[in-house]
Every structure is written in C-alpha cells, then in structure tokens.
Amino acid sequence: MERKHFLTLGAGLTVGGLIGKSALNGENISGAKTKISDYKFDPEKPFPISPDGDVNHPEHDSPYWDFIRTLFPLKSDLTFLNNGTMGITPYPVLEALNKSFHFIAENGAYPMHDGSFEENLGQLLGCKGSELAITKNVSEGVNLACRAINLKKGDEVIITLHEHVGGCTAWLYRAKTEGIVLKLASLGATAEETLKNIKAVKTKNTKVIAVPHIPCTIGQVLPVNEICAWAKANGIISAIDGAHPLGMLQMNLKEMGCDYYSGCFHKWLLGPIGTGFFYASEEILSRSAIHHVAAYSVDKFDMSTTPPSMGELVNKTARYSYGTFPGPMYDGAKAAMQFYQKIGPALIEKRVKYLSKEVMNGLMEINDNPTLKFPVIDPSRSQNGVDNSSNNSLPVAWKMHHSQGPVIEVLTPAEDASRGAQVGFRIHEHPSKIASSNAQVTKEGAPIAIKAMSQSLVPGTSTPQASQRFCDFARKNNVILRYVAENNIHCVRVSTHYYNNKKDINRFFDVLQLFLKEEGWM
C-alpha cells in the first residue's frame, strides 16, 4: 500500500454515504473473472489460479487473492475487519456442512466418532490425534483445563491483564469458590519484556500459568514457547488459551511444549461456528481430573452386572468429548482445515502479518498529518505534543506500552515476534469535546452519563468514549471493527485476514478520516 495514503484518500466522501455506490458491485477487485459458479473446491486439485507470479511478494493483492475472495459469500459492500470475533465461512465450508447434514437426513446415517478428525487436526497442530478432543468453543476447553488441575486454597495461577471473559472466568470462579490466587502479569512492548513480567509475578506458590497465546484485546502474540519452557523448568503447569492462532499463525504444540491448549475453528480457521478443540498432552493426561463422562470417555459399561460396572477411561484426550458426535459440524471444520492447507499456512501467515502491518503503519502516519488541528484548550498541552503527566490519573490497564501520538496511540507492539493479524489502537479525545463536556457538567442537572464522561476526559489522552464512538461510526459506514471494553483497555481492534485486501484497508482509513473530521481533528 502506498505510504501517506491517509492524506490522499477519502476526498469527496460524505458521512453515511461512504460505501454505497463505490461498492464492488459483486465483482472482484482487480477484475479477475472467476466466479464461484465456475469453480468447485476440491482439496485434491489445485486452484485454477496460483500465486506463482507473486513468489517474491505473495502477500500483495493480486488476481490470486482476488480469486480467493470470490470463495467467500461476504457482501462486497461490507468491510469486515472483525475476524477476531468470528471468521467468515467460505463456500467450501458451507458446502461441506450442507452436504454432510443432507447425507445424514437422506440416509439416516449416524455420525461415527472414529478419531479420524482428531488425527487430521493433530497433523495441523503438531501433536498426536490421541491428544485432542473436540469441544464447542474455546471457553469449554479453558474450563476443561482449569478443572483438570488439582489446586488447593492459596495455590497461585498466573494470568494476564488482557483476558477474554471466556479465558478467565473459569479461573476467577475457582478463585472465588476455592480460594486459589490469581496473579496478574502485564504485557510488555516486546516478547522479552512480556516474559520478564510473567517471571516477576511467580512465587513459591505458583502452580499454573494460564495465559492467552494471542489476547483478544490488542492481538499481541505472546512468546508461548518460552513461557511454556520456563513453566516446565519450574514445575508449573501451562494451560494456554489459543482462541486466535489456528488459521492465522503456523503452529506446533509439541514445540510449544504446553500441557493444555484450547482453540477453535470458528475464528481464523474460518470453520463452522461452535466448533473447537482441547489439547491435553500425553504426559499430563494421566494426571488430569475429569468431571463429565459418557460415551467415548470409557471403553465399556454394563448395567446388567452386579454391581453395574464400567471399564477404564480411554487413554486419549477424546475422553473429554462425549455423546453424539456433531459429525456435520466437524465435516465443515475438516473442509476449513483443507482449505487452509490448500492456500498454505506459511503464505497465510505472511499475508495477514503484512496486512496488519499496513494498518499499523497507516495509524502511525495519522499522527504526522500536517492538517491536524490542535486547539489549545489546556495550556499544559503543546501544539504537537502529548501531556503525559495526565496519564498518572489513568487506571493501570491504560498504562500500556504503546506508540503514543497526538491523535492515535497504537497499543500492539511493532516488534515482528509480538505481532499477528490484529492491531489495537485508541483515539484521543479532541480538546474541544472536553471543553464542551466540562461546560455541560457544571450546569445544574447535567445527566449522570455526561458527568461520568467528563471525569474520564483527560486532555491529551485517549478515552473510552472516542474509541467507542469511532466503532459505532464505522459500523454505520459498513466497516465492522471490535470495540474492546474489556479490563478497562477500551480500544479499537482491527483484524485483517487473508480475504481482506487493500480496498478494505483503504475503506477503513477513509472512515477514520471522516470520523476525525467530525471530531474536529481535521
């Protein structure tokens, strides 16, 4: 993407009318003619177009990526930059689901859970199929890991300040009901710093480290291999929340060395919604508690013996998934794995990191935009500078590493090892908003919401309100982002998957530019 695009894009756009006529009208971006009706996905056969022409820059927009985009039903007038919440299902996955549900309905066929799905998944994750169980989502896997570990009152678990509700509630519940102690580590600006922060909260009572591989907040990639190696060396059990990496980054759980790992197919792998997996290593399985058992958990049962009898727990992680196998959903997940492998994990990782870097660079450029206006309201604020002293009044979660600028602060580290396919950033509150809100708040009878807002408006810093207003504004303009309110982090999260393209990124910046104009920044 050309540099300084922020200055040049968006001319002539009007609020609310941004997308409308300028949409792609159902055509793919650079005029590639392949239509889904002409093409049937076959994992055994090559795509009708290859990225060969782009071997040196496979991450760039090209007829190949335009073709790939045609395999997604996503509306062309929608700029979907929220894959971190839920992936867009491509046609091959929808077709596999449809076919499988139909097959069962037509033949009265019962979906057998024969372990082949776990075998395929094991190849993708770098572990044995016998170390995997299917779940319906990440939260289920996190709960299985949390309950598999014997802990007593006072035992400590390291988590982060950036947890998703699905990643931490199981631990919070045990803290509340059983008295285990949660120790919070903050994320660093680099992988090294993050590791240091984690090590700093360890005590002699630390029994578990339960951190996300990639937190939902700012998409930072944690140095999980180093974390798990350190945990192992210190007799600490590692339970990783892996909601995001599968389908985004190449993975190898054995190299990672974690004890437990919980992931899903419905985010970056673009599989059916409500499909997930749980990994418990061979070594940890025999020491893992299990609370729910049924078919597939045990090798036999017999109610006709006296007393009624049961055999042994099966010697594989699949003991955690029981009952009727949702076969069609996992046929869909299998198609998602095949689709991912067909495009290529290495190529995908390269492309998503490239696209998110474009977003990060564009955000950083905004701060250099000479057309930005800085009305001097607070004398402590300089023309271009930031009143960092005011940061002292912010909650702890706000004091993160970031690339701070007069309008935008980028929270996701720029370091390559700590970046994936997501960027978190905040928008500063324009000083005039602070002035007008302060004026209102001094009026008798000002609404409580305005009073609350005024209290959090600190000149020269970003506010929850500005980032949230932007996400609402973007949605009205058909750009879907995630507002991250969790843990007082309050930022905008931009997710870019391989089906996104330069046009999507340009639309995002167009909308941001319009918003900043409305806010009085330009």
Among 19, 264, 489, 494, the residue binding ligand PLP under the rule CB under 6 A is 264
Number of residues that bind ligand PLP (CB under 6 A): 14
Stretch near ligand PLP under the rule CB under 6 A, chosen from 113-121, 135-143, 197-205, 495-503: 135-143
For the bound state, the minimum distance from the C-beta of residue 312 to ligand PLP, rounded and expressed in Å, comes to 30
For the bound state, the minimum distance from the C-beta of residue 140 to ligand PLP, rounded and expressed in Å, comes to 7
Q: Report residue 337 as tokens.
A: 């794995």
Q: Should residue 167 be labelled a site residue for ligand PLP when binding is judged by CB under 6 A?
A: yes
Q: Which is nearer to ligand PLP, 188 or 276 (CB)?
A: 276
Q: Should residue 271 be labelled a site residue for ligand PLP when binding is judged by CB under 6 A?
A: no
Measured CA to CA, the distance from residue 67 to residue 31 in angstroms comes to 9
Cis peptide before 307 (omega within 30 of 0): yes
Near ligand PLP in 479-508, by CB under 6 A: none
For the bound state, the minimum distance from the C-beta of residue 166 to ligand PLP, rounded and expressed in Å, comes to 3
Q: Should residue 139 be labelled a site residue for ligand PLP when binding is judged by CB under 6 A?
A: yes
Near ligand PLP in 184-213, by CB under 6 A: 212
| 3 state DSSP class of 153 | coil
Name the one residue in this structure whose structure tokens are 């995630």: 482
Residues 6 or more apart from 53 whose CB is under 8 A from it? 62, 64
Q: Which string of b and e fits 403-432 if b means at least 16 CB within 10 Å? A: bbbbbbbbbbbeeeebbbbbbbbbbbbbbe
Give the residues across from 410 on adjacent strands.
403, 425
Q: Should residue 216 be labelled a site residue for ligand PLP when binding is judged by CB under 6 A?
A: yes
Residue whose Cβ sits closest to ligand PLP? 166
Question: What is the CA angle 273-23-362, rounded to 5?
Answer: 80
3: number of CA atoms within 13 Å, CB side? Answer: 5
Q: Note the residue count of the chain.
A: 522
Among 113, 128, 164, 433, the residue binding ligand PLP under the rule CB under 6 A is 164
Q: Is 317 exposed, middle or buried (0-12, 13-18, 19+ CB in 10 A)?
A: buried
Long-range contacts at 112-115 (CB < 8 A, ≥ 24 apart):
112/325, 112/327, 113/296, 113/318, 113/321, 113/325, 113/327, 115/316, 115/318
Q: Should residue 460 be labelled a site residue for ligand PLP when binding is judged by CB under 6 A?
A: no
Q: Which is nearer to ligand PLP, 239 or 466 (CB)?
A: 239
Question: Could you tell me where the beta strands, DSSP code E, fall in 186-244?
Answer: 206-209, 237-242
Stretch near ligand PLP under the rule CB under 6 A, chosen from 27-35, 107-115, 162-170, 394-402: 162-170
Q: Should residue 215 be labelled a site residue for ligand PLP when binding is judged by CB under 6 A?
A: yes
Q: Which is nearer to ligand PLP, 18 or 133 (CB)?
A: 133
For the bound state, the minimum distance from the C-beta of residue 81 to ligand PLP, rounded and expressed in Å, comes to 15
Handedness of CA 392, 395, 401, 406 (dihedral sign): negative
For the bound state, the minimum distance from the C-beta of residue 141 to ligand PLP, rounded and expressed in Å, comes to 8
Q: Should residue 219 be labelled a site residue for ligand PLP when binding is judged by CB under 6 A?
A: no
Measured CA to CA, the distance from residue 422 to residue 419 in angstroms comes to 7
Stretch near ligand PLP under the rule CB under 6 A, chosen from 163-171, 218-226, 380-388, 403-411: 163-171
- Strands 260-264, 237-242: parallel, antiparallel or unpaired by DSSP? parallel
Q: Which is nearer to ligand PLP, 164 or 381 (CB)?
A: 164
Q: Should residue 423 be labelled a site residue for ligand PLP when binding is judged by CB under 6 A?
A: no
Among 59, 241, 331, 510, the residue binding ligand PLP under the rule CB under 6 A is 241
Q: Using CB under 6 A as the criterion, which residues of the chain lie in contact with ligand PLP when the complex forms?
A: 85, 137-139, 164, 166-167, 212, 215-216, 241, 243, 264, 276
